[in-house]
Amino acid sequence: MNFESFGEVKIYRPKISSELLLREKAQRHLYTVYSVGEYRDKDKVNEIIQHQFSYYFTELNRLIPLIARSDFLHFLLFQYDQSTEVDNLYKASALSPAEDQRWSEIGPIMRRTIKYLAERSVLLYEDIAVRLK
């Protein structure tokens, strides 16, 4: 696993190669419909954003059933606890300048993402449990 340290706290981070692979697939998806260029029309920009959002939403819906297990939920909750510790260090100005900058970039998004993944996992897990009864 790949971790990034903030003070004494370690936070899981995806491998750069995984991020690049996902970005590459998303870019291919984008270019199937839209060409490279500068778009200024707000309706067209919104259309492009919705197109990409749909791609990521579809990918998440494809992957979440494969990983939504109790171990995954425990991992998410642990990472949320870790992120709370880092957030407390951040608020207390106890991080190095580089860590402070990095946390300000990824912290809020990461915390919202963890909450969302945990919620989706619980809902999926509950749905499976109901069907098994």
Pairwise CA distance, residues 119 & 102, whole Å: 26
Mean pLDDT over 28-48 rounds to: 96
Instruction: Return the closest-CA partner of residue 106 out of 19, 21, 48.
Output: 19
Q: What's the domain count of the chain?
A: 1
- Supply the pLDDT for residue 75: 95
Q: Give the model confidence (pLDDT) of 3-30 as tens digits.
A: 999 999 999 999 999 999 999 999 999 9
Residues 6+ apart with CB under 8 A from 95: 6, 7, 86, 89, 103
The pairs formed by 18-27 with CB atoms below 8 angstroms and a separation of 24 or more are 22/59, 25/59, 26/52, 26/55, 26/56
CA quadruple 70, 118, 15, 24: dihedral sign:
positive
What's at 12, amino acid-wise?
Answer: Y
Contact call for residues 127 and 89 (beta carbons, < 8 A): no
Mean pLDDT over 28-47 rounds to: 96
Q: Give the model confidence (pLDDT) of 68-118 as tens digits.
A: 888 999 999 999 999 999 999 999 999 999 999 999 999 999 999 999 999
Write out the residue range of the structural domain in which residue 110 sits.
3-132
- Give this prediction's pTM: 0.81
Pairwise CA distance, residues 133 & 127, whole Å: 10
